[in-house]
Amino acid sequence: MSDLSVFFMQNVETDITEEFEVSKRFKDAEGTPVPWKLRTMTEEENESIRKSAQKRVKVKGGQYTTETNNDEYLAKLAVASVVFPDLKDAELQRSYGVMGADKLLRKMLLPGEYGHLLEKVQEINGFDLDINDLKDEVKN
């Protein structure tokens, strides 16, 4: 039987950060693209973000159901994962003429860059695993 202590909080790698080049357009003084710093989050943080992107909608028979706005959820997930640049910085937001970190991201990045960032954020938070891949892994 394995040692249970490997699961103790003090023995688990948490708050993993990773540098990622979102765009070649953001360059330092030497003309080198500046990587962004992304971090992982806990499921507790993810749940809070997901709930903040949900709303109750009325369906047939007067019943209510909860729907998640996926675009809003992914934007908030990205904002929570980006450590650098500081998307909540008022001066940075002012330079793009927006208020709010999620709006800043959409204004700063080209559509492909934004999509690439969302993919990376999902990957570092463990959402990159395909259910079919997991099934194959379990079979083996």
pLDDT for position 127: 86
**How confident is the model over 4-13, as pLDDT tens digits?**
887 787 777 7
How much is the mean pLDDT over the chain? 88
In order of 32, 103, 125, the CA distances from 98 in angstroms are 26, 6, 27
**How confident is the model over 41-89, as pLDDT tens digits?**
999 999 999 999 999 888 888 888 888 899 999 999 999 999 999 999 9
Q: In the structure, what pLDDT confidence band is assigned to residue 132 with cuts at 50, 70 and 90?
A: low
Helix (H) or strand (E) holding 48: helix 43-52
- Burial readout 70-98 (b: 16 or more C-beta within 10 A, e: otherwise): eebbbbbbbbbbbeeeebeeeeebeeeeb
Q: State the distance between the two ends of the chain, measured CA to CA, in whole angstroms.
A: 21
Closest CA to 79 of 109, 110, 54, 34: 109
pTM beyond 0.85: the answer is: no
Residue holding tokens 């990205």?
Answer: 78
